[in-house]
Structures are given as structure tokens and as C-alpha cells.
Amino acid sequence: GNSVTQMEGPVTLSEEAFLTINCTYTATGYPSLFWYVQYPGEGLQLLLKATKADDKGSNKGFEATYRKETTSFHLEKGSVQVSDSAVYFCALGNQGAQKLVFGQGTRLTINP
């Protein structure tokens, strides 16, 4: 079946550090891939998405590239800020299923 595996957390970085959160997936067909962010006590917000191989999603300085050959969609940011502290979820949407499968989430803490 479809599944998403995320880098184990929590992750703690200093402000202005480089961020990578790994995400790999297992799926049949050609899934869409998403990164969502959840701030404390809130719902999830879409951060970025990619719908086909080699697409790059980007938003607010975050980027992720859909790599079909490695079945990965790693999240990166060149210089993190304290305000980026949150839980990040990688998700997969398979063709026609109209459902998302979520990874377990990675808690990110940025220290000033």
C-alpha cells in the first residue's frame, strides 16, 4: 500500500542554519506530494506541493523536489528562522483516491 516515511525528530537547529527534513514514499502510479506545516494548537497549512516527477515546489524559502528515481521529496530551507519552529508533515496523494497519506511528522525547533 501507499506509505510515507519521514525523518525522525525532533530536530533542533540554530537560527540561519540549513534545514533538510527527509521524506521518502512508497506508492503505485504517479502520486502528488505535499508538505504541510502545523504551528502549536493549530490546523495544518499547505506549505508546498509537486504533482509530477522533477517538479519543484517552493514557498516562504522552503523547497522540495519530486524525485521519482529515489522516491523522495525532501524539504529544504537555506536559512531558518525562529518563526519556522513547527511540526512538518510530508503527505502523498494517489491518483483518483482523493485521500492523503501522511508521514508521522517532524518537530522542528529553531533557537535564536
Partner 1 sequence: DGGITQSPKYLFRKEGQNVTLSCEQNLNHDAMYWYRQDPGQGLRLIYYSQIVNDFQKGDIAEGYSVSREKKESFPLTVTSAQKNPTAFYLCASSPIAGIYTDTQYFGPGTRLTVL
Residue number with CB closer to partner 1 (31 or 75): 31
Contact range with partner 1 by CB under 8 A, out of 17-25, 41-49, 58-66, 67-75: 41-49
Amino acid letter at 87?
V
Stretch that binds partner 1, among 17-25, 34-42, 67-75, 77-85 (CB under 8 A): 34-42
Which residue number, 94 or 110, has a Cβ lying nearer to partner 1? 94
Q: Report how far residue 10's alpha carbon sits from residue 67's, in angstroms, rounded to the nearest whole number.
A: 24
Distances in whole angstroms, Cα of residue 7 to Cα of each of 19, 22, 62, 88: 12, 5, 16, 10
- Residue 102, interface with partner 1 (CB under 8 A)? yes
The answer to whether 88 contacts partner 1 (rule: CB under 8 A) is: no
Please select the residue that binds partner 1; options are 22, 24, 32, 72, rule is CB under 8 A.
32
Q: Assign 3-class secondary structure to 49-107.
A: EECCCCCEEEECCEEEECECCCCECCEEECCCCHHHCEEEEEEEECCCCCCEEECCCEE
Residues that bind partner 1 (CB under 8 A): 31-32, 34, 36, 41-46, 49, 51, 89, 93-100, 102-105
